[in-house]
Each structure stands twice: as C-alpha cells, then as structure tokens.
Amino acid sequence: MAEGQLTPDEDALSKIDTTVPHSARIWNYWMGGKDNYEVDRVAGDAYREHAPTIETMARASRQYLIRAVTYVARDLGMRQFLDIGTGLPTYDNTHQVAQRIAPESRIVYVDNDPLVLRHAQALLTSTPEGVTEYIDADLHEPERILERAAKTLDFDRPVALMLMGILGHIQDYEEAKSIVRRLQAALPPGSCFVHYDSTDTDQALKEAQQGYDDTGAVPYVLRSPEQLAAFYEGLELVEPGIVSCPLWRPEPGTTPEPTDIYGGVARKL
C-alpha cells in the first residue's frame, strides 16, 4: 500500500458522519447494540419519547426476520438470499438463520453505509459449504445490484429477495414501486419476496418520525398497509398475508401484540 493511502477500514471510517443521526445506527441502539454514536443515541431517545413502542417494534422486526428466513429456507427450500439494506449486524442475521437450516445457503448482503462496510468482515462469515458476500451499492440502482449479485447467486435458480425496513428510505412512492418491480423481474419462478416496513398507523409514531426527519438525517416515509400491499402485486402471498409483523406466523404458544410494522412473504409463480 502506498504511503499515505488509507486502508479499506480507515477509508470507511473517514466517510462516517457522526454529526447527523443515522437510521441503521439508531436501530442498532434500540436493539441493544453498541455500533452507534452519541448523536444516534440522542435522536433515538427523542424518538422513543414520542413513540415509546419503538424498541418493541425494532425487536419485533428482528424476530420476524428470523421466522421469515426460517420459513423460506425450511419450508420453501430457498438456498439463495439477496438481502438489500441489511444494516448493522446484530443477532441472528440472515446468513446465520439460513445456514443453520441449510449450510450450503448463499447470501448476498447489500448496503451503502460506511459503518456497515466497516463491519462487512463480521458479516462475511459463512459455513464452509455456503457463501456470504457483501456488496456496497445503492437501492436506487437495482440493475447494478443485480449485476453484482449475479457473481455469487445463480438467477436461474430461486432467490429470496429481502427488503427489510428499507423501502421507506425511497421517498417517492412510484420510484419505490418501480425499484421493487425491477428487482422482482430478475427473479426466476419459485423465488420469493420477503419484506417489512413501518406504517403510518399510529399518530405518535408519525410525530416521532417527523422529528427525526427534521434532524437532517435521511428521511423515512411511513406508508399505509394498503400502499405496502402494492409491493406484492403479481405475487402469491403466503398465509397470513401482509400483517403486523408479530402476527406473521408467531411461535406456537405465544400471544403476540401487533405493532406498526407490517410485512409478508410472497412467491413468484
């Protein structure tokens, strides 16, 4: 390496803006993680003051991811996963859940956050039989994501496309739908779509989100369950459909309470 040239880790660190809160780091804070900064904790606490249920929502979203990945790997036999907007690693990440069920599973993570890039090495663990890869790319460029993912995934075989809590960052609704369509169009029959996003179904959450958006951070658009349903058009929904995430195939013997995060799993026939 030439003198004065930054290492990949140093380059990633140099791009982290610690003066503005970041959703991935705040989500990490709410879930009990340590990969966040003071500005994120302040914003996270302010959000929670308006919407005290947000930590419950954050944890419910992770439990939903675990159940959804378990279902598509175990029951649908998926062995390839394209997880876009993966965020910071916490516990039971997609590759860990999938490879516990099928060690040969291949997972491609996609994000464009420098702190996530710094932690890519932690994400890039894999069983010897499988593959875990990371792509530094932007959801606004779906064709670029697909082109790079094709180096690891075989798009002639079923793929689980995962967009977990990320589409709210696409502010224009028509653009968000277009991106989803373009990604889904690349999937062969037998693939599936796994998704969740926060909804506009609670006034306190809407006020908290507006306060967060006003900090100068990348905004997140809360949408109605009906708007989210459009992301699944043309696919076959798996029961129970698009529901509050705790109500999606809850563990037997549990009595989950709904939250303002909706998601579902659908198959491409």
Q: Tokens 């306190």 map to which residue?
A: 204
- Indicate whether 48 belongs to any domain: no
Contact 198, 222 (CB under 8 A): yes
In this predicted model, what pLDDT tens digit does every residue of 140-181 receive, in sequence order? Answer: 999 999 999 999 999 999 999 999 999 999 999 999 999 999
Tell me if 217 is assigned to some domain. Answer: no
| Residue 15: per-residue pLDDT | 63
Q: What percent of the chain has pLDDT over 70?
A: 94
Structure confidence by residue, pLDDT tens digits, 175-234: 999 999 999 999 999 999 999 999 999 999 999 999 888 888 889 999 999 999 999 999
Question: Domain limits at 243?
Answer: 62-203+223-268
Residue 140 domain-assigned? yes
Q: What percent of the chain is modeled with pLDDT above 90?
A: 68
Look-up of token digits 């159940």: 67
The pLDDT mean for the chain works out to: 90
d(CA 105, CA 192): 15
pLDDT for 14 equals 61
Residue 43, domain member (yes or no): no
When mean pLDDT is compared across 10-14, 23-27, 214-218, the lowest value belongs to: 10-14
- State the pLDDT at residue 26: 86
Segment 15-44 mean pLDDT: 84
Q: What is the CATH number of the domain that holds 236?
A: 3.40.50.150
Lowest mean pLDDT of 30-34, 121-125, 128-132, 180-184, name the range.
Answer: 121-125
Residue 14 within any structural domain of the chain: no
pLDDT value, residue 8: 46
85 vs 266, higher pLDDT: 266
Structural domain contains residue 39: no
- Tally of domains within the chain: 1
Q: How far apart are CA 153 and CA 172, in angstroms?
A: 29
pLDDT class of 132 with cuts at 50, 70, 90: very high
pLDDT: is 179 or 51 the higher one?
Answer: 179
pTM: 0.90
102 burial type by CB count under 10 A (0-12 exposed, 13-18 middle, 19+ buried): middle
Q: With 80 as the cut, is the pLDDT of residue 9 above it?
A: no
Q: Is residue 97 one of the residues assigned to a domain?
A: yes
- Write out the chain in H/E/C secondary structure: CCCCCCCHHHHHHHCCCCCCCCHHHHHHHHCCCCCCCHHHHHHHHHHHHHCCCHHHHHHHHHHHHHHHHHHHHHCCCCCEEEEECCCCCCCCCHHHHHHHHCCCCEEEEEECCHHHHHCHHHHCCCCCCCEEEEEECCCCCHHHHHHHHCCCCCCCCCCEEEEECCHHHCCCHHHHHHHHHHHHHCCCCCCEEEEEEEECCCHHHHHHHHHHHCCCCCCCCCECHHHHHHHHCCCEECCCCCEEHHHCCCCCCCCCCCCCEEEEEEECC
Residue 212 lies in a domain: no
